[in-house]
Amino acid sequence: MRVYVGCSGFYYKDWVGNFYPASLKREDYLRFYAKHFEVVEVNASFYTFPNRGTVKSMLSRAPNLRFAFKAHRSFTHTRNYTEEGAKKFLQALEPVLAEDRFVALLFQFPESFGYGQEQVEYIKGLSKAFRGLPKVVEVRNKSFKKADFYALVQEMGFSMVNVDAPKGEGFLVGPWVGVGEINYLRLHGRDPQKPYDYLYSLEELRKLKDKLRKLPKRETFVFFNNTLRAQAVLNALQFKLLLGLPAEVPASLEKSLRESEWE
C-alpha cells in the first residue's frame, strides 16, 4: 500500500508563526509546505472557481507536489451548476492533468443531503459531467451507509471517501470501506463543538493507522482537515512517522501547539 499524507489546504493565517516562519513570503508558502508533504488538497476551489494561471503557478512553485481539488459548492451545496460551469472548472484543472499530478476531484456533500433516488440521480449527473476524471465523493449523511450505494458509487466512477469526524446522530463517520480505484481519507477532528479545532493524540493516530491498513492494498491518500493553528500539519507529520514514512516535525510547531493546550 503506497500511502501519501497531506493537509486540506496550505494557506491559513494562523499557520504563520506555527508552521510557516513569520518572515516567509506568502508566495513561498507552497514551496515550504512541499518540503514536508507530497500531496495537498486544495480547498479554495470550493469557494471560488480555480484560475488556470493560479493553478500553473502552484505547479511551478512545487514541482514534486500532487494535487486534489475540492469541487465548487455549486456542484455539491447549492447544486445549481451549469454544463458551462463544469467545463470552466475542468479547463482550469487541465495543467495539473497534463503534468500527471492530479489526485482526484473531491465532491463533499453537506449533512443535509440525504439518501434518496433524486440524490443518487444527481450524483450520476456529476459522474457524467466529469467523466474520465479521477473523482471521490464524501457524503456526510448516515442514510448513505448502504452496500447498494457503495456499489453505485463504484459503478459511477467515484472512489468513496472514508471520514474521521465527531460522531453525531446523523453524521456518517467512516464507513471504512474500499470503494473505487483509490483509498481517500479525510480526518476532520473529533470535537463537535469546535469543528476542525482538534489535535489527535498519538494513540488515536495509531488506531486510525490500523483502520487504514484494513483497506484494500492500493494507492492511498490521507488528508488532515483539523487545520486550526496548524494542528493538521503536526498530526500529518506524526502520521507519516507512524507509517514509517520520512518526516521531520518542526520544533517550533510542536512547541506552539503544546503551549496552546495550557491557555
- Rounded CA gap, 104 and 24, in Å? 29
Residue 5 has which C-alpha cell?
Answer: 499524507
Confidence of residue 262 (pLDDT cuts 50, 70, 90): very low
Backbone angles phi, psi at 183, to 5 degrees: -95, 135
CATH class given for the domain over 3-260: alpha beta
- Structural contact between residues 145 and 171, judged by C-beta atoms closer than 8 angstroms: no
Predicted confidence at residue 195, as pLDDT, reads 84
pLDDT tens digits, 87-139? 999 999 999 999 999 999 999 999 999 999 999 999 999 999 999 999 999 99
CA dist list (Å): 121 to 76, 78, 98, 127: 13, 16, 30, 10
Quick check: bond before 21 cis, omega within 30?
no
- Residues whose CB is less than 8 angstroms from the CB of residue 186 and which lie 6 or more positions away in sequence, other chains included: 8, 41, 108, 138, 161, 162, 163, 164, 223, 225
Say if residue 13 is exposed, middle or buried (CB neighbours under 10 Å; 0-12, 13-18, 19+). Answer: exposed
Percent residues over pLDDT 70 in the chain: 98
Residues facing 235 on adjacent strands: none
- Ordered by start, the domain boundaries in the chain are 3-260
Residue 71 pLDDT greater than 90, yes or no? yes
- Rounded CA gap, 154 and 217, in Å? 17
Say which amino acid occupies 60: S
How many Cβ atoms from other residues are within 10 Å of residue 74's Cβ? 16
